[in-house]
């Protein structure tokens, strides 16, 4: 494998990139050069009013001082993250000028040539203001192709009311995987599951499973990233944990609402007693279920392992094939990558008011701390305890993601043997790596 400093048109039309850019390189719909589109799953009109208001104000602030106007398009969560909406738009040559990407899907769009280089639009010193491990998954050959909006670590949320009714206290929180399964079984009733893991296939499920793989001592690749390390006892163990949770009846085969990331439909409404969730759950509960009493703790580790979280993070990116890629890139830099106090305040508001996250920039973190954002409660637990051991969400090509997803689904829901599916997935990954010619996999 090698890093590629620039994607040629021929290279861009290989593999997954061919489907992605089939329309982008051909006859695309006419576009207005005086307008750029921003697709997102927050608003206007999204489920969370504070987040919808924030994205609307972002566009309004830009439009008040720039000739090229930003037009927002809201795409519902399930359609944006797990549906074909974004990919289909690029295949038709009608992809948005600015859009949001997680690390899990970064290489699909970078290797397809769809991401504009943001580096020329960043002020000196701004890159150093971003946490390096979070920015790294958006770098290729030291060039920036996306700016993180937040950091979203995962933890274990639990219902305090359920714990109290079961005669449990904070000291009874699970410290090992066996304790987690035992507690989940104890808290399971005919009307409630004790624990909830994501069961819907997709990037989010993979993202939430990776920490269990890491805590068991496993990984997807060898350290040099040249071969698969997926077929290992650690992989088998992490898959078996999720399989055992469903097999025992302590975790559901189907999750409610929008999926395992839906705090309200699953935990707050009593579908489960414990749920693996990201820090965004704090804001969701505060806005949609303010009377719900809950606690947060790091996810338990197996004996000999260390509690480790995955750092999710959505980033804004600019479409290299849009109507005005230069202005789109300028907008992303203005929105999230400026040293202007207005930008710092904007990101503080996003991470600790409109939404809850760990700021991806040191200056924003300092501003949030000055406002007491991490002084107490679940936000303090995330900042001080959950973040103690953390790894960024990996960026894997779609072919690697699918091999892992298929293996996980087979084990979790179909009762397949973890060793057998891990071996098959590892062979698929090695076959893909033998011909891979894209940006470095991280």
Other CB atoms within a 10 A radius of the CB of residue 402 amount to: 18
| 140: enclosing H helix or E strand | strand 139-140
The yes-or-no verdict on residue 432 having pLDDT over 60 is: yes
Overall average pLDDT of the 304-321 stretch: 96
**Dist. CA 285–CA 414, nearest whole Å:** 33
Specify the pairing of strand 143-144 against strand 139-140.
antiparallel
Count the neighbouring beta carbons within 10 Å of the beta carbon of residue 120.
12
Between the two ends of the chain, the Cα-to-Cα distance in Å is 12
**300-326 average pLDDT score:** 96
Compute the average pLDDT of residues 88-112: 95
Give residue-wise pLDDT tens across range 176-195.
999 999 999 999 999 999 99
Q: Looking at the chain, how many residues does it have? A: 442
Q: Are 149 and 360 in contact (CB under 8 A)?
A: yes
Do strands 390-392 and 309-312 pair parallel, antiparallel, or not at all (unpaired)?
A: parallel
Confidence check: pLDDT of 219 > 80: yes
Cα distances (Å, whole numbers) of residue 430 to 181, 355, 425: 33, 39, 9
Does 245 have pLDDT greater than 50? yes
Q: What is the mean pLDDT of residues 120-125?
A: 96
Token pair in block for residue 296: 């947060």
Q: What is the pLDDT of residue 30?
A: 60
Q: How far apart are CA 77 and CA 316, in angstroms?
A: 16
Q: Name the pLDDT band for 225 (thresholds 50, 70, 90).
A: confident
What is residue 145's predicted lDDT score, i.e. its pLDDT?
98
For the segment 338-356, the average pLDDT, to the nearest whole number, is 97
Bridge partner list, 36: 70
Residue 95 structure tokens = 């992809």
What pLDDT is recorded for position 20? Answer: 55
């Amino acid at each position: 494998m090698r890093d590629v400093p620039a994607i040629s048109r021929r290279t861009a039309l290989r593999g997954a990139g061919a489907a992605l850019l089939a329309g982008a390189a051909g006859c695309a719909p006419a576009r207005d050069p005086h307008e750029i589109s921003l697709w997102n799953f927050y608003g206007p009109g999204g489920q969370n009013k504070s987040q919808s208001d924030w994205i609307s104000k972002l566009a309004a602030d830009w439009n008040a001082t720039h000739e090229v106007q930003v037009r927002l398009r809201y795409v519902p969560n399930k359609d944006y993250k797990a549906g074909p909406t974004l990919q289909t738009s690029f295949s038709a040559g009608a992809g948005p000028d600015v859009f949001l990407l997680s690390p899990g899907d970064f290489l699909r769009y970078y290797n397809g040539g769809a991401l504009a280089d943001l580096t020329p639009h960043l002020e000196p010193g701004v890159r150093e203001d971003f946490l390096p491990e979070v920015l790294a998954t958006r770098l290729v050959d030291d060039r920036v192709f996306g700016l993180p909006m937040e950091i979203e670590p995962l933890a274990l949320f639990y219902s305090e009311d359920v714990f109290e009714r079961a005669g449990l206290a904070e000291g009874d929180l699970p410290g090992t995987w066996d304790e987690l399964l035992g507690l989940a079984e104890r808290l399971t009733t005919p009307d409630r599951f004790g624990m909830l893991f994501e069961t819907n296939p997709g990037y989010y499920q993979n993202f939430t499973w990776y920490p269990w793989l890491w805590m068991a001592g496993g990984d997807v690749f060898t350290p040099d990233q040249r071969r698969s390390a997926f077929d290992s006892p650690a992989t088998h163990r992490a898959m078996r944990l999720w399989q055992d949770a469903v097999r025992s009846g302590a975790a559901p085969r189907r999750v409610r609402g929008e999926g395992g990331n839906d705090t309200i439909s699953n935990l707050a409404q009593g579908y489960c007693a414990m749920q693996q969730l990201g820090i965004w759950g704090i804001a969701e509960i505060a806005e949609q279920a303010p009377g719900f009493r809950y606690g947060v703790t790091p996810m338990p580790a197996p004996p000999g392992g260390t509690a480790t979280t995955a750092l999710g993070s959505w980033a804004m990116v600019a479409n290299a094939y849009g109507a005005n890629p230069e202005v789109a890139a300028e907008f992303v830099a203005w929105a999230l990558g400026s040293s202007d106090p207005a930008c710092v305040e904007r990101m503080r508001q996003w991470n600790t008011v409109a939404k809850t996250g760990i700021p991806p920039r040191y200056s924003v973190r300092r501003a949030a701390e000055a406002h007491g954002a991490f002084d107490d409660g679940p936000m303090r637990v995330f900042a001080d305890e959950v973040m103690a051991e953390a790894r960024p969400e990996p960026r894997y090509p779609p072919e690697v993601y699918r091999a892992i997803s298929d293996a996980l689904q087979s084990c979790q829901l179909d009762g397949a043997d973890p060793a057998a599916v891990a071996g098959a997935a590892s062979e698929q990954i090695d076959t893909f790596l033998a011909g891979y010619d894209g940006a470095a996999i991280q």
